[in-house]
Amino acid sequence: MAISHDINVTRALLEKYDKPGPRYTSYPTAPEWNPAFGEADYLAALRRASLTPETPLSVYVHLPFCWERCLFCGCNVVISKKPSIAGDYLNYLEKEMGLATRELGARKLVKQLHWGGGTPTYLNVEEIRRLFGMIQKVFTFAPDAEIALEADPRVTSAEQLDTLRELGFNRISMGVQDLDPGVQAAITRNQSEAQTRLLFDRCRERGFQGINIDLIYGLPEQTLATWEYTIKSTIDIRPDRLAVYSYAHLPAQIKHQKKIDHLPRPTGAEKWDLFALARKLFLDAGYRAIGMDHFALPEDELAIALDERRLHRNFMGYSVVPAEDMIGFGTSAIGEIGGCYAQNEKRPVNYYKALDQDHLPIHTGITLTQDDTIRRWAIRQVMCNFYLDFAELERRFGVTYDGYFGDEERLLAEYYGAEMLVREAGALRVLPLGQVFIRNIAMVFDLYLRKPEHFNAFSRTV
């Protein structure tokens, strides 16, 4: 189906470009990270980061606990109905924060804090206060800091929201995925529309801004009719922001997805039709398309940042926060700091063991080369702002576009020919059709993808 604003995605284009590819939450992507990267490498990165004490940080805290498992989920979670498990975890988080921030010296200013999961509101009110106090002991928040968390409408109480607002949380993201009961039953995410609306209304009443709802297309049992109801109901709720993610079905890597392997799910052109419908309805309702899979109301900061070409992207999603270094705490948490990526141990038993021995629980990572840094910047520019400014490239890195990306320019010829991309005076600009296939365009700049064995590690691009 064609979508609004003169974008016509044909079946031929889908057949050509719907293939495995990274989402580029990082570059180099995770398959390039190496378990040989260890604590000593991470400590060196933290010390490098300490050399710019006035530069703000982003902080991510991973809270892995959930009451039940959703079968679509690819996050690192721990399923437990034993509330006391969270208190033990906080003890280890406190120790990790102490070990890591000791290396940061005077660099303690935080511009962005995000609690992700899992289900951060698995924590009770006392635990929420304790964790926030732990963070305040080692960091200082900027007056305009973005302080956000993910919330599950099924378990988040009014008392928790009151506590979060009192502490200074100002943004919240709700997992919804789909409002159809049949789809919810298939993925074991039974969440009534009334629960979603109640949490949204409570958040709005308490003054949360940039309220986000997450949806997923391509789930088992989804149809155009059920999906249209989900989209129209979401528009009626009127969140400030929306994330509309493509479902990544990777049962070989995510074992519990095997339980839904037998169920019918939209793929290829049928899956694209779901996203096309969502895009059309959201745009017609006044939302702006942000990046490859987000939407925002025109007055939202994300939409304004896109117009001003200052949109940023990290593991917490699209952002306007100019904090290029991010430090992560908790199981599986990723840091992007001091010229490296570093990921913690994923299993709590290994995470706890390292900290019991007074070691930072690093599982894998990579130190970026200068080429990695240049390509990461170029990929983020096209992924976030749909624009790559040649003068800015030269100002930042001392290289010219044609001199550095000559091979890539030749590979981009097919996207010029398909009217997905245009070369202007001093810049590349991604056209509306190219925005649909932005992951494919970004892949041209990915030097590591020239090793074809990595392709099976990624979800499909549409």
What's the pLDDT score for residue 457?
A: 64
Looking at the structure, tell me whether residues 298 and 236 fall in a common domain.
yes
- Residue that terminates a domain, selected from 327, 355, 388: 327
Whether the per-residue pLDDT at 456 is higher than 90: the answer is no
Whether the per-residue pLDDT at 458 is higher than 80: the answer is no
Question: Is residue 349 in some structural domain?
Answer: no
What's the pLDDT score for residue 61?
A: 98
Whether the per-residue pLDDT at 136 is higher than 60: the answer is yes
pLDDT tens readout for residues 404-439: 999 999 999 999 999 999 999 999 999 999 998 999
Question: Is residue 247 in some structural domain?
Answer: yes
pLDDT tens readout for residues 81-132: 887 899 999 999 999 999 999 999 999 999 999 999 999 999 999 999 999 9
Whether the per-residue pLDDT at 462 is higher than 50: the answer is yes
Looking at the structure, tell me whether residues 71 and 12 fall in a common domain.
no
More confident residue, 173 or 324: 173
**Tokens matching residue 230:** 């989900």
Question: Is residue 332 in some structural domain?
Answer: no
Question: Is residue 352 in some structural domain?
Answer: no
- Which residues, in sequence order, are bridge partners of residue 427? 389, 424
Q: Percent of the chain, pLDDT > 70?
A: 97
d(CA 67, CA 204): 26
Distances (CA, A) of 395 to 106, 374, 389, 400, 409: 29, 12, 10, 9, 20
Looking at the structure, tell me whether residues 98 and 200 fall in a common domain.
yes
Helix, strand, coil percentages in the chain from 3-state DSSP, rounded to 5: 45, 20, 35
What's the pLDDT score for residue 357?
A: 98
Whether the per-residue pLDDT at 1 is higher than 90: the answer is no
Looking at the structure, tell me whether residues 446 and 310 fall in a common domain.
no
d(CA 113, CA 79): 24
d(CA 178, CA 74): 16
Q: What is the mean pLDDT of the chain?
A: 93
Question: Is residue 107 in some structural domain?
Answer: yes
H/E stretch holding 74 reads none
What's the pLDDT score for residue 249?
A: 87
Looking at the structure, tell me whether residues 95 and 235 fall in a common domain.
yes
Question: Is residue 392 in some structural domain?
Answer: yes
Average pLDDT of the residues in 1-13: 63
d(CA 97, CA 132): 12
What's the pLDDT score for residue 346?
A: 96
What's the pLDDT score for residue 179?
A: 97
Whether the per-residue pLDDT at 453 is higher than 70: the answer is no
Looking at the structure, tell me whether residues 92 and 227 fall in a common domain.
yes
What's the pLDDT score for residue 34?
A: 95
d(CA 382, CA 440): 11
More confident residue, 28 or 456: 28
Amino acid at 217: Y
Looking at the structure, tell me whether residues 22 and 36 fall in a common domain.
no
What's the pLDDT score for residue 3?
A: 36
Whether the per-residue pLDDT at 208 is higher than 50: the answer is yes
Whether the per-residue pLDDT at 50 is higher than 70: the answer is yes
Question: Is residue 136 in some structural domain?
Answer: yes
Q: Percent of the chain, pLDDT > 90?
A: 81
Question: Looking at 185-194, 207-216, 248-257, which range is the least confident one?
Answer: 248-257
d(CA 208, CA 187): 29
CB 195 within 8 A of CB 237: no
Looking at the structure, tell me whether residues 401 and 303 fall in a common domain.
no
- Residue that terminates a domain, selected from 327, 353, 383: 327
pLDDT tens readout for residues 299-352: 999 999 888 888 888 777 788 876 679 999 999 999 999 999 999 999 999 999
Looking at the structure, tell me whether residues 23 and 35 fall in a common domain.
no
Looking at the structure, tell me whether residues 235 and 304 fall in a common domain.
yes
- Spatial neighbors of 300 by CB under 8 A, at least 6 apart, are 210, 240, 241, 288
CATH code: domain of residue 441: 1.10.10.920
Whether the per-residue pLDDT at 60 is higher than 70: the answer is yes
- Residue that terminates a domain, selected from 297, 327, 357: 327
Q: Which domain holds residue 94?
A: 28-327
Looking at the structure, tell me whether residues 243 and 275 fall in a common domain.
yes
Looking at the structure, tell me whether residues 56 and 107 fall in a common domain.
yes
* Length of the chain counted residue by residue: 462
For the chain, how many structural domains are there in total? 2
More confident residue, 213 or 252: 213
pLDDT tens readout for residues 240-258: 999 999 998 888 888 999 9
CATH code: domain of residue 75: 3.80.30.20
d(CA 216, CA 249): 12
Question: Is residue 362 in some structural domain?
Answer: no
CB 77 within 8 A of CB 118: yes
